[in-house]
Structure 1
Amino acid sequence: MKLNKIACLLLVVASCLSCPNSLNSAERIYDLARMGLKPDSWKNASPILQRVVNRIKAECSPEDSIVLRFAKGKYFFHEAGAATRTYYISNHDQTNPKKVGIELEGFRHFTLEGNGAELIFHGRMLPLALLHSAHCTLRNFSIDFANPHITQIRVTENNAGQGITFMPAPWVKWRVSKDSLFEAYGEGWRTRPTSGIAFEEEKRHIVYNTSDLYMQTKGVTATPAGTLTAPHWKDSRLIPGTVVAMRTWHRPAPGIFLHRNLNTVLENIKVHYAEGMGLLAQLCENITLDAFGVCLKGADDPRYFTTQADATHFSGCKGKIISCNGLYEGMMDDAINVHGTYLKVVNRIDDHTLVGRYMHDQSWGFEWGEPGDSIQFIRSATMDIIGKTNRITGISPTDRQETAGVREFRITFRDPIDPQICEQKGYGIENLTWTPEVEFKGNIIRNNRARGALFSTPQRVIVENNLFDHTSGTAILLCGDCNGWYETGACRNVVIRKNRFVNALTSQFQFTNAIISIYPEIPDLEGQRQYFHGGKEGSILIEENEFDTFDAPILYAKSVDGLTFRHNILKKNNEYKPFHWNRSRFLLEKTNRVKIME
């Protein structure tokens, strides 16, 4: 999967050449080993990194080229002495303040050189944040937590009458609470997991036809041998040897947080665990991931899971997102999700002014748009575009003085707003300016929960030369939803080419109607007057892919104008028994200009 290495490196070089430093600039190298932080020392790295970053800001000018250098080895970060920051992060729990291990803000021409450093975090932390910066590179390090908040256990006995007996993994700190519930804990945190994902012991695939497990540990009892029996947890699918990642639904922080950056490169970084996304980028322009991984620490890693949610997630970005030569495995959600956010119209003040509100509980509190941005309106029930594109002339919070923490915006528009748009019926506002192109090439996605890759952007998307191996749900989803997740928007130009799909759809999750699922959320499809995705002949092209599957559904498409499926190889295997409700190779609902040529 290294076919795109040269392309990625060329892009990195081009990015550097496009923003040369001033003739008066200097290269400044800060070597952490000479500044009080040697590898493998067991020191708390959090306060030292704060001091070093503050020193860099005091000593350097904006034109300087800065390198912050780790030596190879292990570094340990604790909440004590860490930076304390309030961040509102898309698609995460808006719990503040957050403890930040490495906080980088306001830099230009900055490189964090890891040299193979292993950054290990304790407690409940946001490992690394890069904000309001330009032309920055992060490379050659890994992120992990000493004691993950996901609890791994192994089923040792499954008795229909007595329940499930299990053994926690050696690193798990656990106890039985006073009210007889299984409880995991760590430095400053505790969890009582009620759900989980089951993995096959040998192959590490998610157990066939299980999806999200829901477990009841009330009345759990422990034995001197360290096993526990949960008499009310009964599930015949979990044979002895099954490994379960027991979890909650909390997402306090990603592994890496990018906000308001320009031209960012992340190279050869591995995130082994985070209690949210592996990487979350919002309101950024031009991001390149080269050999970025959300992955295990090799074939001998005793863990089966990585992140609590998506591996990578891009919200309200623009320019170009490139992800190449990556490895994404064992995460509790998708490998990549690219989208914007619909605001719901909650008040029409006059013909040029609306109040729009963030609706989802995990996506609010940050900027949504700025004067000059192009927007369009959409009717939530049918996902029809209403009126013509418009432009923002003014935008400000209505529910507080500052943008941080905002839920509602007062927005004025250049042109009169269509008369039907009001708060009485469901309408959304979509920002068309903050939408990126995407290249997703040469990646491996395997053994994860839910789905592989999600795209919701009108700009060009290329998905090429990837391996989707046992993604458990849909491998590729083109979505759009102004009713639940409120994630924009329609795809107008998508190429899915030369990928290999191996046994997707081993479980049922949301939007998983086929291996490739084009599934906008449209409550009133009969009332829809337009098509949501596409818009011209061949808008979505699926060609020269190989589908190796045990079940029937290959392609599902709803509300698409301009879809071509051609020159693909379809193979049938017997690894699992077919079970999906969709028995059609190609299932189409309200489509136009569709060409299917196997």
Structure 2
Amino acid sequence: MKINLWLLPFLLLMSSLPFMASGLEQKRVDIAVFGAKPDDGKDDSKALAKAAQYCRDNPGTVLVFSPGAYILKNAQGIETERAAMRGEMGDNPERVIFTPYYPYGRGMDFSGSQSITIEGNGAKINCYGWMEPISIEDCIDFTVEGLTIDYPEKPFSWGKVVKVSPHDFEVQFSKDRIIDDKMILGRMTFWDLQKDKLMPDVLYFPKRELLGDNKVRFHATIRPETVGQIANVLHCFHFRPAILIHRSVNTVVRNVTIHAQAGMGIVGFDSRNILLEKLEVRPAPGYYQSTNTDATHFASCDGLLRFDNCYFEAQGDDATNVHGYYHTVLTAKDNQITTKLEAPTFTHIQVIDLPRVGDRLELVNRETLEVVDTLTVKHAAEDKQTLINTLTLDRRLEIDPTKYFVMNISKLPRLEFVNSVINSHLARGILVKTRDVLIQNNRFNGCSNTAIHVGAESWWNEGTHSENVVIKDNVISGCGFAGTQGGASGIAFIIDAKNTRKTFLHKNICVENNVIVGSGNLCGIYIGNTSGAVLSGNTVSNCEMDVYIKSSNDIKIKKK
């Protein structure tokens, strides 16, 4: 039998999934044992917490839900939501609640579990309070399947645009939540009901005027055709994810739906081997917003990260962003350096990104992001107060530390994103800053920015440049209608740094048999900062040119 080499890493992963490697006997336990009953309108929080504790104490458990709705409340999350919504954390709560080691509430905390399966059977968890509903931390062989996560009290408000004037517009908000003068109104977007897609206008912190009966006038300019369409306004940006995967090995998320979250849908950090299969991040019926920010986000992971047959719609940012971090070198003496992550929002779970002994670090020029050396970590220590890492390396360094980053290339996963749909949302579809990548047989519809963005971003301290990337058999339509990377509607390879005129960093690229229907963009495909790419069989329409090439060499184009 012939085996597709691209599937080999996944087959290796499958051999180490729950119960296959551990040899632990499975024990099925019904959630009702802990007192949780669906659809009875009672608070199930204590029962769900007991069930999670049982899983922590009993490796090999299969926790079985009966279909129906369960109520999950978190007192700390409810207070965080109240304070943020009332403006007690300023006009942007993210600056308070999305900071290093900020305390937060957890719903079902599975920390330290081994060989656990959560069998949801279509159950729905209705969450109250801005929390982290499912925490998978320090776990081995953990599977969650068949669950839906939602918030009856959404972290956003919505209404219908009833009037548009040259300098203002009016929104009749739903009765879900009464808008007042203290409530935080962050980013506002608009959804076209007739075309069932996101519209181009985006407003931040719009000035309001209360008109009574939950009608609000906003003093900003939007296009006249927005009358009759839906306005969504967020009450926060980043906070905790619906599902956290941290320091865990062999995690499977299958047939899970996330309707809303005051932050991202799933965040994986410092974890190995993650499979997302039939994950859906989409609005609840009757709504036009899913997660407030990214649908998924993975940083400093390794092994294989695979998306298969997933669906993403109406999230407030990328469907996924996969990357490592550029750490600023503060000092260098002999074979020891100190580093600090100076990213605008730190790490995406707000804990230090500490290398492991044996990890390989690339020494990177800050201005160009070119790699100048590769080093090995012999010892690593963190300081949670200063957020500084002290690293002992395998040899002496004689450098000016003000000129360099370090990138941990041992914490970069292989990425496979296949057979999935990304539909109508803000920002990019897939943002890739890792190596060994397959993006195949996906549909991208109405991403407001470039559908597939491959590129390091020095301003965000996210990287690295990519190598060994295959992008093939994708259909990309109507993307890049509100911004692009390099002018590309469909696919862009680019490096964001101070000086990139002669930085040919992306290597061994294949872009093949993709169909791109643009939004009147400069190009369908942008190739920048690349050395070695083959483009073949791609079809581009509704763009000024098929391919735009800049600061690249050894690019071969074969037409269909």
**1:166 and 2:171 aligned:** yes
Q: Which residue of 1 aligns with 2:407?
A: 430
| Matched ranges for 1:461-476 at <5 A | 461-476=437-452
1:449 aligned residue? 426
C-alpha distance in structure 2 between counterparts of 1:549 and 1:370, whole Å: 44
Q: Tell me the distance in 2 between the aligned counterparts of 1:56 and 1:550.
A: 50
The residue that corresponds to 1:490 in the other structure is 465
What is the match of residue 540 of structure 1? 509
1:377-396 alignment to 2 at 5 Å? 377-387=363-373, 389-396=374-381
Aligned to 1:355: 338
Q: Where does residue 175 of structure 1 map in the other structure?
A: 179
Equivalent position amino acid for 2:280 in 1: G
**Contact 2:210 2:216 (8 Å CA) reproduced:** yes
Q: CA deviation at 1:142?
A: 0.5
Equivalent of residue 207 in structure 1, options 185, 195, 199: 199
Question: For the Cα contact (< 8 Å) 1:453–1:477, is it kept in 2?
Answer: yes
1:344 and 2:328 correspond: yes
Q: Show the counterpart of 1:153.
A: 159
Match of 1:54 in 2: 53
Q: How far 1:551 moved relative to its partner?
A: 1.6
Aligned pairs for 1:106-145 (under 5 A) are: 106-145=112-151
- What is the CA–CA distance in structure 1 between the aligned matches of 2:367 and 2:22, rounded to whole Å? 51
Q: Who is 2:32 aligned against?
A: 33
Using the TM superposition, name which of 39-48 and 554-563 deviates more: 39-48
Q: Which amino acid aligns with 2:444?
A: F
1:565 corresponds, among 512, 529, 535, to 535
Q: Is the CA contact (8 Å cut-off) linking 2:163 and 2:169 kept in structure 1? A: yes
Select the residue among 91, 94, 110 that pairs with 1:104.
110
- Counterpart of 2:456 (choices 472, 480, 499) is 480
Does the C-alpha gap of structure 1 residues 95 and 229 become closer, same or farther in structure 2, counting only changes over 3 Å? farther
Which ranges of 4 or more aligned residues in structure 1 deviate by more than 6 Å? 6-12, 81-85
In structure 2, the partner of 1:229 is 217
Give the total of aligned pairs.
534
Q: For the structure 1 residues 92 and 545, does the alpha-carbon distance in structure 2 shift closer, same or farther, using more than 3 Å as the test?
A: farther
Distance 1:124 1:249, change over 3 A: closer
**Cross-structure match for 2:382:** 397
Write out per-residue CA displacement over residues 535-563 of structure 1, whole angstroms, 9 at most, x where no aligned residue: xxxx1110011112242411112210011
8 Å contact from structure 1 (residues 8, 290) kept in 2 = no
Distance 1:48 1:325 in 2: 32
How much has 1:166 moved relative to structure 2? 0.8
Change beyond 3 A, Cα 1:148–1:399? closer
Q: Pick one of 177, 190, 207 that aligns with 1:198.
A: 190
Report the alpha carbon displacement of residue 351 of structure 1 after superposing the two structures with TM.
2.4
- Normalization by structure 2: what TM-score? 0.89
Q: CA RMSD in A?
A: 2.6
More strand by share: 2
- Does residue 318 (structure 1) correspond to residue 302 (structure 2)? The answer is yes
Find the residue that maps to 1:412 and give its secondary structure.
Answer: strand
Q: Structure 1: how far apart are the matches of 2:206 and 2:114?
A: 51
> Do 2:53 and 2:109's aligned partners in 1 also have CA atoms closer than 8 Å?
no
Question: C-alpha separation between the residues in 2 aligned to 1:441 and 1:57?
Answer: 33
Aligned pair in 2 of structure 1 residues 143, 376: CA closer, same or farther (>3 Å)? same
1:189 aligns with none
Q: 1:413 to 1:593 in 2, by over 3 A?
A: same
Instruction: Give the Cα separation in 1 of the matches to 2:244 and 2:18.
Output: 25
Q: Distance in 1 between matches of 2:9 and 2:196?
A: 30
| Structure-1 separation of matches of 2:322 and 2:98 | 15
Q: Distance in 1 between matches of 2:76 and 2:525?
A: 52
> Hey, what's the Cα distance between the residues in 2 that align with 1:108 and 1:146?
32
SS in 2 for 1:470: strand
Quote the offset at 1:13 in angstroms.
5.0
Go from structure 1 to structure 2 and tell me whether the alpha carbon gap of 1:481 and 1:570 turns closer, same or farther (over 3 Å shift): closer
Q: TM-score, normalised by structure 1?
A: 0.84
* Cα distance, 1:371–1:588 mapped onto 2, change above 3 Å: same
Q: Give the gaps of 5 or more residues in structure 1.
A: 1-5, 86-90, 184-191, 401-405, 573-577
Q: Aligned in 2, Cα 1:31/1:584: closer, same or farther, shift over 3 Å? A: same
* In structure 2, distance between residues paired with 1:592 and 1:237: 46
Output the CA distance in 2 between the equivalents of 1:78 and 1:8: 39
The verdict on how the C-alpha distance between 1:373 and 1:10 changes in structure 2, with shifts beyond 3 A counting, is closer
Find the aligned partners of 1:17 and 1:254 in 2 and give their Cα distance.
23
Listed one character per residue, the Cα deviations across residues 263-321 of structure 1 (whole Å, up to 9, x for unaligned) are 11111000111111110000111000110111134xxx211110111111110000001
Partner of 1:333, secondary structure, is: coil
3-state secondary structure, aligned to 1:174? coil
How far apart in 2 are the matches of 1:149 and 1:175?
Answer: 13
Q: Which amino acid aligns with 1:422?
A: D
Show the counterpart of 1:67: 62
| Matched-pair contact (CA < 8 Å) for 1:313–1:336 | yes
CA–CA distance in structure 2, aligned partners of residues 83 and 281 of structure 1: 24
Which shows bigger deviation, 352-361 or 546-555? 546-555
Q: For structure 1, which segment, 281-290 or 195-204, has the greater mean C-alpha deviation from structure 2 after superposition?
A: 195-204
The answer as to whether partners of 1:374 and 1:432 remain within 8 angstroms in 2 is yes
SS in 2 for 1:446: strand
Structure-1 separation of matches of 2:328 and 2:486: 22
In the alignment, residue 486 of structure 1 is paired with which amino acid? N
Cα distance, 1:154 vs structure 2: 1.4
In structure 1, the residue matched to 2:88 is: none
Deviation of 1:202 (Å) = 2.0
Q: CA shift at 1:238, angstroms?
A: 5.2
**Distance in 2, Cα, partners of 1:261 & 1:275:** 23
- Structure 1 residue 199, shift from structure 2 partner: 1.5
Say if 2:76 and 2:104, in contact at 8 Å, map to a contact too: no
Post-superposition shift, 1:596? 1.8
1:366-385 residue CA offsets vs partner (Å, 9 max, x unmatched): 23211111111101111111
Shift of 1:516: 0.8
Q: For the residues of structure 2 that align with 1:318 and 1:123, how far apart are their CA atoms? A: 32
Instruction: Give, in whole Å, the separation in 2 of the partners of 1:412 and 1:13.
Output: 36
Residue by residue over 1:406-445, the C-alpha shift from the partner in whole angstroms, topping out at 9 and shown as x without a partner, is 621011110222x3x323x331101111111111000000
